Structure 1
Amino acid sequence: MDYWLSKKIQSLCAPSCLRTGSIWLARAGFWVYIIYGIVQWFRPGRPEGQRQRRRSLLEALFSVLCSSLMSYVIARIWRRPRPFAAHRDIRQYVAHKDNASFPSNHTMNAFAAGLAVFYRSKLAGLFLILWSLLIGFSRIVCGIHYVSDILGGLVLGLAGWRVTARNKGLRWLAMGLPWLWTWLTERICQRERR
C-alpha cells in the first residue's frame, strides 16, 4: 500500500512544473527555516519582543534536536531502504544516499520547528507548518521517501516539540539564553564605544 501510494503521487506529479517545484523544495526547502531564524534572531525591536522571538527560536532548535535524537535511535534499530533503492519503477529526482528512509528527517525537523514557532507566533508558525507539509510531499515526488516516512516524520516532529514544551529545564534555558545574549551584546557595544 505504501509503495503503491508513493508511486501514484510520483506519477500524478509528472508534469514538469510540479516536478521542478518538488525538486527545488526537496533540495532547498529547509533554507526557509534557516533564513527565518537568522532574520528573527537579529531583527531589531523592543528588547522584550526580541527576547520572545529568540526564545521561540531556541525552543524550535531544542524541538529539532529532540526529534533528531529519536530519529537517530530509530535508524539504528530499523533501516528501511529508500523507495528509489527498493523499487526500480520509482524514479529518483534528487541525489541522495541510500541510508534509512524512515522517518523523513527533513519533514520531521521542519514540522518540529514550525510547531515551536506556532506556539509563540501563530501566523509565522502556520506558514512554517504548511511549508513542512510541502517539503514532505516534495520528498515523495522525488522518490526519496514513502508516504509513511513523511507521516512518521510528522509524528516524531510533534513528539520532539512536546518533549521540549513539557521540559522545564529546556524552557528555562530557552528563556535565559536570550537574556544572556542581550547582556553580552550590550557589553560588547559598550566596550566598542569607549
Structure 2
Amino acid sequence: MDYKLFKAINRLAGRHNTLDTIMITITYGARFLYIFLTVLMWLRSNTYKKITLYGAISVGAALLLNHLIRLFYFKPRPFVKHRVRYLTPSKKDSSFPSKHTILAFALATSVLLQKRIVGTVMWILALLTGFSRIWVGHHYPVDIIGSAFLGSVISIIIEKSARSFTSFFNWIIYHYYFFCYLIRRKSTNP
C-alpha cells in the first residue's frame, strides 16, 4: 500500500512544469522560509524568543533522533528500489526518517503549541514539505507520516518539560540583550 500511494503521488511529477517547480522549490526552499520566520519571531518579543528557543531545542532533538535512527535502521529510497519520476538528485541514504520532514514538524509543532496562527502557517508548510518529498521521488508516504509524527512528539515532549528550560531561556535572552547593549554602546562611543 505504501508503494501504491507513493506511485499515485509520484506519477504526477513530470507532467506539469509549474507544479514540479513548486514542489522542488518547497522541498529545497522551505528551510529558508522557516529560518526567515524564526528570525522574525526572535526579533519580535521575549515571548517569541522563548518560542524560538523551544523550536531550536526541538529541532536539535529531532536532528539527533534522525541520526540515531539512521545508525540502526536502513530503508532504501524509492528511486533506488523502483523506477520513479526522480526530479532532483538525492543521497542514497535511508528513506526513513525524512530529515526535511522531521525537522519541519519539530519546529512547526513547537510554534503551534504556543502561537496558533504562526504555528498553523508553519504546519501547513511542513505538510507541503513532506508531500513534496514524495512528489520528487525521495521518500515513501509512510516515511513522511512517521517523520511528521516523530517531529511532533519531540516538540510535545519538549513543551511538557518546559519548566526545566525556563531559567535557561531567560538567561539566553538576558545575555542577548546585554550583548546588543554592548554593541550599541561601542558604536556610539568611538
Q: Is the structural similarity TM-score above 0.5?
A: yes
Equivalence for 2:109 = 115
What amino acid maps onto 2:159 in structure 1? A
Which sits farther off after the overlay, 123-132 or 66-75? 66-75
What amino acid maps onto 2:130 in structure 1? G
- Work out which structure has the larger RCO, using CA pairs closer than 8 Å and 6 or more positions apart in sequence: 1
What amino acid maps onto 2:39 in structure 1? I
| 1:29, distance to aligned residue in structure 2 (A) | 1.5
Equivalence for 1:170 = 165
Distance change >3 Å, CA 171–CA 74, structure 1 → 2? farther
> 5+ residue gaps in structure 2?
none
Which sits farther off after the overlay, 154-163 or 59-68? 154-163
| 1:158, distance to aligned residue in structure 2 (A) | 1.2
| 1:146, distance to aligned residue in structure 2 (A) | 0.4
Which sits farther off after the overlay, 163-172 or 74-83? 163-172
Q: Alignment RMSD, CA only?
A: 1.6
| 1:8, distance to aligned residue in structure 2 (A) | 0.8
Aligned residues: 187
CA separation in 2, counterparts of 1:133 and 1:147?
A: 12
Equivalence for 1:184 = 179
% identical equivalent positions: 28
| 1:37, distance to aligned residue in structure 2 (A) | 1.6
What amino acid maps onto 2:38 in structure 1? G
Q: Does the aligned pair in 1 maintain the 2:51–2:110 contact within 8 Å?
A: yes
1:69 aligns with 2:64: yes
Distance change >3 Å, CA 52–CA 127, structure 1 → 2? same
> 5+ residue gaps in structure 1?
44-49
CA separation in 1, counterparts of 2:93 and 2:87?
A: 16
**Secondary structure, aligned partner of 2:91:** coil
What amino acid maps onto 1:188 in structure 2? I
Deviations 1:96-127 (A, max 9, x none): 11011101111111111011112222111100
| 1:193, distance to aligned residue in structure 2 (A) | 2.5
Q: Does the aligned pair in 1 maintain the 2:75–2:94 contact within 8 Å?
A: yes
**TM-score, reference length from structure 2:** 0.91
**Secondary structure, aligned partner of 1:81:** coil
